[in-house]
Amino acid sequence: MTLSSQPVATRIFAEGAIIGVHVLYGFTTVTLILALFGGFGALKQKKWPLIVFTIGMTLSCLVIVGIEILTQAMKTKLENHMRNFYMNILPLTNATESDLAVLDYVQRDLQCCGVEQGYMDWNNNIPGSCLCNSESTNLCVVAPKGSYQFTVEGSVEDQSVMIYAKPCLSIVIAESMFHLNVQSGIRVGFILLW
């Protein structure tokens, strides 16, 4: 399956992951080349490769420190940017198809419903991505009658339909900040071991 035939939300996340992999390849390649210079300089007892190795590794360390400082400084801006993105989707009845695809993906993946006010953001048109399943770990509530436009397989007419209670905005921001903190921890570890 090609990237262009995938749903919009999956394509957006995949493109971001591909960019990250390319950056990792570039950084690893530069580090390997610098290590080869250092090994060559030590083996042949030449000064210039050792100087290239030392300057290159020092610059790499400074780049990592700079990225870490920039990341810490941009945390609140990133949080505000995500909040603005999701708040601009509201009202969900007027959202674009690509925005709804992203929100649908987020609702299924993070087990949440709506943006800020939970399922109430959807008015009387709650999508199937808000539906709780048997493996749900997040809190579920009974959907108001007539507020959803889907049928549940194997359900009885009088049976309650359970949907996710938590809105997605707070969960998306918390998840993003968690991953940002993990990345920061890895960078600090690299800096300390460098």
pLDDT, residue 157, reads 58
Which position has the token pair 């250092």? 38
Task: Give the 3-state secondary structure of the chain.
Answer: CCHHHCCHHHHHHHHHHHHHHHHHHHHHHHHHHHHHHHHHHHHHCCHHHHHHHHHHHHHHHHHHHHHHHHHHHHHHHHHHHHHHHHHHHCCHHHCCHHHHHHHHHHHHHHCCCCCCCHHHHHCCCECHHHECCCCCCCCEEECCCCCECCCCCCCCCCCCCEEECCCHHHHHHHHHHHHHHHHHHHHHHHHHHC
Distance CA 108, CA 97 (A): 16
Beta bridge mates, 164:
140
Give the pTM: 0.68
Closest CA to 164 of 120, 194, 123, 100: 120
pLDDT of residue 67: 86
In order along its 194 residues, the chain shows pLDDT tens digits of: 444 444 554 555 566 668 878 888 988 899 899 999 999 999 999 999 999 999 999 998 898 889 889 988 888 898 888 888 888 888 877 888 888 888 888 888 889 988 888 888 888 788 888 888 888 888 888 887 766 655 555 555 556 788 888 998 999 899 888 988 888 888 888 788 86
What's the pLDDT score for residue 1?
A: 41
